[in-house]
Amino acid sequence: MTIVYEPIIGLEVHAELATHSKMFCACPVVDTTQVEPNVAVCPVCAGMPGVLPVVNQKAVELGLRVALALDCEIAPCSLFARKNYFYPDLPKGYQISQYENPLAVNGKITIHTSQGEKVVRIRRVHLEEDTGKLTHIAESVKNSETEATPAHTLIDLNRAGVPLLEIVTEPDLHSAEQVGAYARALHSLLRYLKVNSGDMQKGAMRIEPNISIRPEGSVTFGIRCEIKNLNSFRALERSVDYEIQRQSILLDEGKPVIQETRGWVDEQGITVTQRSKEEAHDYRYFPEPDLPPLVVEREWVEQIRASLPELPIARLRRFQSQYQLSAYDAEVLTAEQETADYFETALAAAPGISPKMFANWICGELFGLLNQAQTSLVDCSLSPQSLADLVRLVAAGEINQGTGKTVLAEMFNSGKEAEAIIADHGLRQISDGDAIAGLVRQALENNPSQVQTYLGGKTSIAQWLFGQVMKSAKGQANPQVVRQELNKQLEGLKNQS
């Protein structure tokens, strides 16, 4: 008998908060991929003795925005704590974090999966600081230009002390798909709230899934493994799937799962042991003596709550009800605030055109062009008003769908308006009945043997004849009118014969 296992997954996410300065000092937050190492460092974030940290109010505000958007209870008074461990990227020898009294607890977020909506409980949201960055350099041998160097490690403290928000879920997730949906929903939320750059490749949001499995029906949790620092949705989903498989095989073979921290090796598609799981007591947590308790006034919380934008889930539901869009379209359009705004601006610029038509043009054609050009909606020059002009011309039958796509591509690349491109290239659709009747007559005269085939009963050849007419009209004829006219003339010939 094979045992069916139920995966249990909880996630920890570290999100950099988009402040100008660091969490406990005035050093600027810089893009570590763009600036020289160690240019944004002071005695506080370098961990010099005798310095004093000061809490960055903006970071607290951004943290509260997230906590409120996640429907958390905000602690009127939270505490910073020292999490002690030694690693060279942490010059103080401890990280200032929050432990027993976090900023906020007991929240929730709604996610979308192929099985519908699901609520994931948020256990806690707390503030902490990021570490520096280590670069390990391998040993090099002497050549004509350089001396030999032993293996060594470089350290960049630009990131040390950058504010981080840690968001921890309850173990409510049960598959790689759900985990991916949660991570995307959170990413979208952080972007809507303008608290995080969303740039996962640069490590702005790092995900750590905790995974265990248990025989279906069992009520106790299995032993979990934690996968460290994933920075893409794909790596997250793949690693969770792998880990579920790995643990299932172990249990099937009667071997134990060992509680540990594992790393994802993307090239090989596997997780590997990094270190055995440390327990809270290993960190010797104690309240940070250099910082007073963080008291958050009710009034401030309410001000922040009132300033929250319409959140992705609310906007998604509104798009479904107000515009009759499918869950899928609504989700794609609302994942990024910019896309949702773009859609609504375009829609408002073309009264009477169906929202679905805009959804198709934006999610299909426009996203395709953005993808090809490796750019984003924010950086592209095509305004929603210009898109609306184009869609209006298609809806009015001035140009057909196919021509519309060509025109859009040219608008996208040249910045010209739809009307101008259509006029320049003489692309206006032929909808005139007489003109189309002429084209059809010509096509039937030019292809007598195919017409005979049709009259002989093989009516599917009509499609080929349709193609001939469209070709002679250089794709600009109104397809519905052509189809009607073609049927009419063929039926006429049938009745004569």
Q: Are 459 and 439 in contact (CB under 8 A)?
A: no
Interface positions, 223-252, toward ligand ADP (CB under 6 A): 224, 226
Other beta carbons within 10 angstroms of residue 103's beta carbon come to 23
Mark the segment that binds Zn ion (CB under 5 A) among 22-30, 262-270, 392-400, 460-468. Answer: 22-30
Q: One symbol per residue from 353 to 372: x for binding ligand ADP (CB under 6 A), - otherwise; what is it? A: --------------------
- Compute the least distance from the CB of residue 259 to ligand ADP, in Å: 9
- Compute the least distance from the CB of residue 329 to ligand ADP, in Å: 32
CA 240 from chain centre, in angstroms, equals: 18
Of 6, 61, 89, 170, the residue at the interface with ligand ADP (CB under 6 A) is: 170
> What is the spatial distance between Cα 113 and Cα 328, in angstroms, rounded to a whole number?
10
- Compute the least distance from the CB of residue 12 to Mg ion, in Å: 5
Question: Which letter, b or e, does each residue of 57-94 get, where b requires 16 or more Cβ atoms within 10 Å of its Cβ?
Answer: ebbbbbbbbbbbbbbbebbeebbbbbbeeeeeebbbeb
Of 212, 403, 468, 476, the residue at the interface with ligand ADP (CB under 6 A) is: 212
* 449: region left, alpha or beta (phi > 0 left; psi from -120 to 50 alpha): alpha
Residue 177 touches which member of Mg ion, Zn ion, ligand ADP, none, C-beta under 5-8 Å by kind = none
**Residue 409 touching ligand ADP (CB under 6 A):** no
- Compute the least distance from the CB of residue 208 to Mg ion, in Å: 6
Q: Which residue, 257 or 330, has its beta carbon nearer to ligand ADP?
A: 257
Of 168, 235, 314, 395, the residue at the interface with ligand ADP (CB under 6 A) is: 168
Taking the alpha carbons of 60, 65, 70, 75 in that order, is the dihedral positive or negative?
A: positive
Taking the alpha carbons of 332, 244, 173, 70 in that order, is the dihedral positive or negative?
A: negative
- Compute the least distance from the CB of residue 371 to Zn ion, in Å: 39
Residue 169 touches which member of Zn ion, ligand ADP, Mg ion, none, C-beta under 5-8 Å by kind = ligand ADP
DSSP 62: H
Mark the segment that binds Mg ion (CB under 5 A) among 105-113, 220-228, 356-364, 467-475. Answer: 220-228
Kindly report the length of the chain.
497
- Compute the least distance from the CB of residue 168 to ligand ADP, in Å: 5
Interface positions, 221-240, toward Mg ion (CB under 5 A): 226
**Residue 9 touching ligand ADP (CB under 6 A):** yes
**Residue 221 touching ligand ADP (CB under 6 A):** yes
# residues near ligand ADP by CB under 6 A? 15
Q: Which residue, 226 or 398, has its beta carbon nearer to Mg ion?
A: 226
DSSP 243-286: HHHHHHHHHHTTPPPPPEEEEEETTTTEEEEEEEPPPGGGGT-E
Interface positions, 43-102, toward Zn ion (CB under 5 A): 44-45
- Residue 156 CB-half CA count within 13 A: 17
Interface positions, 11-70, toward ligand ADP (CB under 6 A): 11-12
Taking the alpha carbons of 119, 124, 127, 132 in that order, is the dihedral positive or negative?
A: negative
Cβ neighbours of residue 435 closer than 8 Å, sequence gap 6 or more: none
Q: Are 36 and 188 in contact (CB under 8 A)?
A: no
Q: Which residues are near ligand ADP by CB under 6 A?
A: 8-12, 168-171, 210-212, 221, 224, 226
Q: Which residues are near Mg ion by CB under 5 A?
A: 226
Q: Which residues are near Zn ion by CB under 5 A?
A: 25, 27, 42, 44-45
